[in-house]
Structure 1
Amino acid sequence: MYKNDKSILINDLLFKILELVEPKTLLDCLLVNRNMYQLAIQILWRAPRFRVFQTVKQFCKALEFRPHNAKFVRELNFNIESIFNPINNTLFISIVENCHGLVKLDVSFASLITDEAIIAISRQCPELRTIELSECDKLTDISIKALANGCNRLLELNLEMCSSLTPRSIDYLAQRQQHIEVLNLSLCGWVNDDVAYSMSEFYSLRVLKLSHCRNVTSKFFTILTPYTPHLKELHITGSSEMKDEGVINITKHCPELEVLVLSGCKISDLSMYCIAENLKNLKKLDVSGCPNITYKGLELALCLNLTSLRANNFDINVDALNILRNQFPRFWGDAYHNTIAY
């Protein structure tokens, strides 16, 4: 092994160790020697945390003083813990314009952010994989089109409460971002059954959240689920038009589901039977607020190896479920055999 190879190996090991060190200790490492400085500075700049708005402005000034450190930035979280998120386009663009290696971005609740900022992201950050845009209500389809065209490795997208978008935004994503794995469209009133036709292009979809999308009906899942066989997590909270037909299609085409939330849907014991019969990998089930489900239907769900079950009158976690299994083995056996009745 050559001398240079040894130094590379040592640096790799040091870097792995420094990744486990607290930020305060990393600051001390900057003063050890030049080699430790180069390793520690990469970790310190990789994912800066902004708890208050003042720290964002300080980070912006630090970038002005040392712009070359922007190449180390991989994650930026502007979801500041305050009633109002004051991040605006000017400040946002000044920070991200040199962060070409950015892979994760969170600007949730930044109500001042407009299309201009997202266009800048799509141009400057081609490596972006995750972007959180929850409640950025000034964004339009122009932003989504820019992301679809500029960020070719996008895997996770959160558009919760983005009220100014239209179904056209999903069309843009379907044309260029078929590999999306996580999509959150909760509280988006513009999502309807027709959107499912475009979403059927997302062959890699693993997580889909459609909570309180009141225009989504059972038809949506009749269209979509044949094209999403690897779906593992699905949220359909508060959909009064979601009925047994939709659940039947979900259980038929998405056997790998591990989390299923159907709270507030108009489903019956028939849905519970289909869940028990087809979703053998299911770990978490939420059917609270579903008045048409009886105790007999819940018995069917208890046949599964669940770790969490929420219904109208109870919320059972894995510990409680294990106690029930140990104390009432006959009940579990009877519940299993009751599936034959359907």
Structure 2
Amino acid sequence: MGLPQVEPLGEMPDRITIYEVGPRDGLQNEKSVVPTQVKAEFIRRLAAAGLDTIETTSFVPPSWIPQLADAADLLGELGELGRGPQRPVLVPNERGLDGALAQGVGAIAIFGSATETFARKNLNRSVNESIAMFEPVVRRARDAGLWVRAYVSMCFGDPWEGPVPVDQVVDVAARMMDLGCDQLSIGDTIGVATPGHVLALLTRLADNGIGIERIGVHFHDTYGQALANTVTALRGGVTVVDASTGGLGGCPYAKSATGNLATEDLVWTCKGLGIETGVDLDQLVQISMWMAQQLGRPSPSRVVKALAC
């Protein structure tokens, strides 16, 4: 079977932006280090398939995430394809920003937490200390003309603290956006969100002045809810969705976090709903199969499995 039958659902956007996180969030948890040339080819193929926004890497200390220790080499390998406002890189602090600026990037992302425990495990700081650390990062990035995204993780549940109150998430998100960020990505880091919870958080964010046009969603598929939650977010007006080709991903600091929403599964659903993504699904499936060979295991994406038969 080639493509799904198109049947619009109503109250849906005509087009969405897929924020591809495979090269960074997707690969960061891999135990075997992927060669820089393979990462570069992965990004080239993703861009050729129509993915305009691709988060390429992260400027973190090698001791934190060895997989991303080649950030500067990777951007050097990519040249202009790895720079510009549609090629964000993650930076945890000013030193990371220095590395990113030295490579001439056009966009960065910062990564905060809605919970104290994960803030400590991920950044070795409290939530308040983390936001204080991000303040000069965002200010300097904006002064340099960069586009800035704010991730907030653990928005729906935390493996150490349990359920996370919506108002707690909204408070942290508002403080992150008040730093001067352009976009907010709300993360279901351990994949426990359900549609009603998603809608409740989006509503409270809007009530607190963070418009839906500034929000992206980032769902993990631990309990098989990522696609259902994404469709709910789209019905709520969201037009930016984080996804990882092949469903790659996890979190090195939260062992219960499994793979991201697979980009192929998202594109298939959007095609059936009549939502334009600009992505060639056949090419994307081939990319996933190629990357699965590089990693030595099959892609977890259901669409890849179905179309590869």
TM-score by length of 1: 0.32
TM-score by length of 2: 0.34
The higher-RCO structure (CA 8 Å, 6+ apart) is: 2
Of structures 1 and 2, the larger Rg is shown by: 1
